[in-house]
Each structure stands twice: as C-alpha cells, then as structure tokens.
Structure 1
Amino acid sequence: MASRETLLTTDVHEAAALIRRGELVAFPTETVYGLGADAFNPEAVRKIFEAKGRPLDNPLIVHIVHLDQLAHLVRDVPEAARRFMERFFPGPLTLVLPRHPDVPDEVTAGLPTVGVRMPRHPVAQAFLEACGTPVAAPSANRSGRPSPTRWEAVYADLNGRIACILQGDRSDMGLESTVVDCTGSEPVVLRAGAVPLEALREVVPETRLVGDETSLKARSPGTRYRHYAPQARVVLVDHPDEAVPDPRHAYIGLTPPAHPEAFGACCVCPDVETYAYELFDFFRRCDAQNCTRIYAQRVPHTGLGLALMDRLERAAS
C-alpha cells in the first residue's frame, strides 16, 4: 500500500511510466475517473483491490486504445460485438467477451470472460497510447463510494493509496459505461450505463436486459455489491412534496421543491442527462456538507433513465 503523497500531473508520459513500473494511476475518461494498472501485471492489478478495498471477486474492465490489442485479451470477437464496436468504439460501452488465457485471473475474478472498452476521452486515449499496454481499471474511488467525476474526488478518496492522479477536466457523462455480454446467442446488458438500451437495439435488435441470471451478473462490475452510495441516507421520491425540508437534508431531481432554500443542498436538473451528469458530484457535495438525508426524485426507466435509476436504487439500498 502506497503511503507517500500521491503525485498530481497533467503529463500522460509521466503517468504512463508509472503504469509500466507496476504502479497505480487514476486517469480521466468520458464516464468517470478510472484507477488503472497494467492488465498483464498481476501484482499491480492486486494493488487496485487493496487501494479501493474492493472485493476480489469483482472483475475489472480492461481499457484499450487500438482494436489490435484485442488479440491479447480475447479468444474471439462474436459478430454482435463487432457490430457494437463499429458503432460505439471509442465510447462508453464495455463488451464482455471470451477471455484469452494470457489475461490474469486477478483481472477477471477467475471468470472465463473479460470486459473490454475503448474510451473516447482524449486524455485517456493519449495516456493509454503512452502506456503501450491494456490497462485494467475500475472507478477511482474507495469501494462503495460515489464514482469520481473530478480528480479532486479521487484525491479525497485515494491520496496516499495510489502513485499518481492524471489530472483532467470533469468527466462529461457522469455515469459509468454500459456493460454488454456478447458471449451468448443474444447480447445481454449486465449493467445499464451511458449507452442506452434503445441505442444498442438499433444495432442488434435482439439485445436484452439481464434477468435473474446470477452467473451472468457476476461477469460485470457494479452489480453484486452496494455501490455509488454517499454517507447520507438516500431516499427515493416520486415528487419533491415527499421530501422533508431541513438544513441537514438535500434534494436532487427534475421537479423543483416548493422551498428549495429550506434544504442544505438542492439540485434541480432540466433533463435526465443533466441529472445523470450531476448525481455523483452532488452526492459528494452533500457529504462535504454533512447532510444526513438526500431525497432523489425517480425518473422513468427509459433511455438514460434506466442507468440513472440503477445507480439511485443501489445508493438507496
């Protein structure tokens, strides 16, 4: 476990050199900040679980910058996955594929599959290019906490526990990638995310949401444990009238409360996209203000609302 002050840098080459030395580097992506290690260095990958306090049976996503890197990560690429890559790579989509035997068990939690994504964030791409190796990376936060959309949030959670934070702007989406298993007869969304189900079905109409298939859910991060939770209790409401105004309480949603000034923190969003973008940052702001309760308005389970409600329901569990 690192104990020295975490290095802050904007130099992708300085950060990549640390990856090649087996260290951990947090880096920006379009979804949230990731915590990266060389995917083919088992000792480095184990440091991720130690730094985050992450359960060892929770698999990681491997980040690539070139499609030819897939040859070292997967045994084959099914036709549905190829179609998704053509449409959504680079972007906020993770594909679960048959694992290549060279991928360490530490990355896959011993599963026969591996999740792969190609971020579109320019700093992430430059960083991955400089690393020269696929990078395994979950979100760069302590396990169970809200995912970080700013480097400052990474620093608050992991300073002294990782070698470096590659500084970038605030993540421009605010929710993690969609995870789709492409190893079966039809693609299965294991985790709703920044790419909506409707967009996936435009490419492969047979795509479906995972049901109660526990063995499938285990192939995706963010599906088996309490996640995305602030210190305050999260209470889901249909309308702000259900929220109890109090300086120790907070509210976030699409409909403004009658007396927003009565809450310690209040975030009224014009649409679901903004709600998703603001959610994790708002959670962390509420923690900084020592809020005891956060009222979050429900949204329909369609489009990006499906992923937003997944995060809200897990935070409120």
Structure 2
Amino acid sequence: MSFHNTVLTQDVRQAAAWIRQGELVAFPTETVYGLGADAFNPTAVRKIFAAKERPRDNPLIVHIAHIHQLDRLVIDVPETAQRFMERFFPGPLTLVLPRHPAVPDEVTAGLPTVGVRMPRHPVARAFLEACGTPVAAPSANRSGRPSPTRWEAVYADLNGRIACILQGDRSDMGLESTVVDCTGPEPVVLRAGAVSLEALRDVVPETRLVARNESLKARSPGTRYRHYAPQARVVLVDHPDEALPDPRHAYIGLSPPAHPEAFGACCICPDVPTYAYELFDFFRRCDAQGCTHIYAQRVPRTGLGLALMDRLERAAA
C-alpha cells in the first residue's frame, strides 16, 4: 500500500493503532528512529522490506516493552543473556537468542535465532506498551542510507511509503544498538554499537568480537551490506591536513583542519560520543548541501570508537 502523505503524530495511541491495522510506523528510540511492524504479522513485516528496499535475507530486531514478552519470541534465555538484561535492559543492547517457532521467517530471515531489544526511550516505551505486541523494527531509512536521528530525516526518506511517523526529539545517541549473540558458549558481539565491548566484558568477561569472516555475522542486521552511506563519497583520514579544502567538500572529526572556513560544511567534535551523535545527521546535511566528498577523521577503536569506526568504514566502502 502507498500513502499520499504519511501521517505525522505525537500521539502514541494513534501510532499504535496503525500497527494493529498491519501498517508501518516510524518511532523514536535512544539510538536512531525505528520502522516498526507487528512482529507476528508476516504481511506487515514484508512491508518493511518493501518500504526500505531492504534485502529479505537481512534479519530484523524485535522490540519489546516488557520482559514477559520474551516468552512469545524465544525458547531459552541463556545465563549470559540474563546477566546482560539485568545490566542493560532497557537500553541500546540487542541480544540474539534461540527463536520461538511462532516468530515468522520474515522477521528472522529464516534463521534459528532472533534479535530482541527493550528500548529505554520514554516515547518508544509508551508506544510499544500501546501496541500490545512485540514490534519488529530496523532503522527507519531507505536501505543503505544514513540512519535517521530526526523524524524529519524519516519523512525525507519514507513519506508516502509508510502509514505514520511518531514524532519525538532527536535521538540521544546517534548510533544503533550493540548486537550480541548469546546462543554459543561465549557471547559474541556481532555489531558494535552504543554499549561498548568494555562495558559488556564488565558483565561477562568472556565476551568477544565476531571474527571478520565468521558466519555468525548473518544473524545481525547492519553487517552484510554497504550501510550508513551518504550520497557524497566518504574518505577516512588520520589527520585533518589530509582533507582537501573545497566548498564542495565537508569535514568531520575531533581535530580542526587548518582552514575550516574553506569547507562547505565542517563539524568539529569535542569527543567521540559527540562525533557518534553528530555523524548521521552531518551526512544528511552534507547531502542536502550537495557535497561531493566528506572527509572523516579516524578515532581509536576503544569504547564507543569501535562502533563509530564500524559505521565510518561501512560508509566509505
């Protein structure tokens, strides 16, 4: 179904009514805006892939309002997952768990696992509560584009393709959730995100990063295709002097270039969390200005820097 205009609302009950009717709703979370459908309605879930032009073999994350909703989604919660939930739920962490047979293949891409997250964003929590069902939701953007941190970015990508946008403030973090597979003998981080590897290891010291060619990557969204890319070419640099000043070029990083005024757009961030928060919004701003190149400074792969470098490298692929 196509819509002449997507409905904009701040009413969680109005937005949830669209979910119960089998339609798509974009909603704010603390990470980025999500594009939701009833996780147990295969027809509705297929609309997500059509609206985003997303490959069908890319699994979705299911968002819940309450822990008891896990009973409908998974057949087992390993002890490591229990420990992570005690520390990080609600929050920006997705756990990959053994899938319940009732979960449609459309959600899991036919995998025996399902990713589950409980957002902490108050509007997201109220929305999920009003839906009364787990909601499958990837980021609310056209596939491959920068994830949206504002409802206006969702509207720019998906107006007329989805029923409703639940309007909220700009996302708090700007990067997607961390995805951890808890189905094996040790937890494996499939996608770096807003919860750092160091924080996870404080809870379960055996937690490790997925190996580059490990087949487990298929269990997480955001790992198999070019993602997070603006229309401009993204060029990674170690030092701002490597960026070529030009009105058609942009720069983002922790250190300022010698002549920031020579760039069409420039974003100097005081720290890595600010860099992560600004990244996707800056990408979209550069596209709106018609920039041809975006120079992005590399950061150390520690803490949130691991997730930030993952997004930068995928954008530059």
Q: What TM-score results when the alignment is normalised by the length of structure 1?
A: 0.99
Residue by residue, what CA displacement relative to the aligned partner does 1:206-265 show, whole Å, maximum 9, x if unpaired?
000000354200000000000000000000000000000000000000000100000000
Runs of at least 4 residues off by over 2 Å:
212-215
- SS of the residue aligned with 1:114? strand
* 1:134 Cα deviation from its structure 2 partner: 0.1
Structure-2 separation of matches of 1:60 and 1:215 = 17
Q: Which residue of 2 aligns with 1:160?
A: 160
Structure-1 separation of matches of 2:216 and 2:37 = 25
State whether structure 2 residue 5 is matched by structure 1 residue 5.
Answer: yes
Residue by residue, what CA displacement relative to the aligned partner does 1:175-228 show, whole Å, maximum 9, x if unpaired?
000000000000000000000000000000000000035420000000000000
Q: Which residue of 2 aligns with 1:295?
A: 295
Structure-2 separation of matches of 1:3 and 1:118 = 29
**Counterpart amino acid of 2:66?**
H
Structure-2 separation of matches of 1:147 and 1:82 = 29
State whether structure 2 residue 281 is matched by structure 1 residue 273.
Answer: no
Structure 1 residues not aligned, in runs of 5+: none
Structure-2 separation of matches of 1:122 and 1:3 = 28
Percent same amino acid at aligned positions?
A: 88
* 1:3 Cα deviation from its structure 2 partner: 3.0
Structure-2 separation of matches of 1:69 and 1:213 = 33
Q: How many residues align?
A: 317
Q: Which residue of 2 aligns with 1:26?
A: 26
Q: Which residue of 1 aligns with 2:110?
A: 110
State whether structure 2 residue 255 is matched by structure 1 residue 255.
Answer: yes
* 1:2 Cα deviation from its structure 2 partner: 1.5
Q: How does 1:89-128 map onto structure 2 within 5 Å?
A: 89-128=89-128
Q: Which residue of 2 aligns with 1:132?
A: 132
Q: Which residue of 2 aligns with 1:186?
A: 186
Residue by residue, what CA displacement relative to the aligned partner does 1:116-153 show, whole Å, maximum 9, x if unpaired?
00000000000000000000000000000000000000
Structure-1 separation of matches of 2:196 and 2:313 = 17
Structure-2 separation of matches of 1:295 and 1:39 = 39
Structure-1 separation of matches of 2:259 and 2:18 = 50
**Counterpart amino acid of 2:180?**
V
Structure-1 separation of matches of 2:214 and 2:37 = 28
Residue by residue, what CA displacement relative to the aligned partner does 1:260-304 show, whole Å, maximum 9, x if unpaired?
000000000000000000000000000000000000000000000
Structure-2 separation of matches of 1:225 and 1:3 = 28
Alignment root-mean-square deviation, CA: 0.5
State whether structure 2 residue 300 is matched by structure 1 residue 309.
Answer: no
- SS of the residue aligned with 2:149? coil
Q: How does 1:176-215 map onto structure 2 within 5 Å?
A: 176-215=176-215
**Counterpart amino acid of 2:152?**
E
Structure-1 separation of matches of 2:45 and 2:220 = 17
Structure-1 separation of matches of 2:201 and 2:299 = 21
Q: How does 1:20-99 map onto structure 2 within 5 Å?
A: 20-99=20-99
Structure-2 separation of matches of 1:218 and 1:106 = 14
Structure-2 separation of matches of 1:214 and 1:4 = 43
* 1:49 Cα deviation from its structure 2 partner: 0.0
Structure-1 separation of matches of 2:106 and 2:78 = 24
Structure-2 separation of matches of 1:213 and 1:250 = 33
**Counterpart amino acid of 1:139?**
S
- SS of the residue aligned with 2:219? coil
Residue by residue, what CA displacement relative to the aligned partner does 1:82-123 show, whole Å, maximum 9, x if unpaired?
000000000000000000000000000000000000000000
**Counterpart amino acid of 2:242?**
E
Structure-1 separation of matches of 2:184 and 2:108 = 18
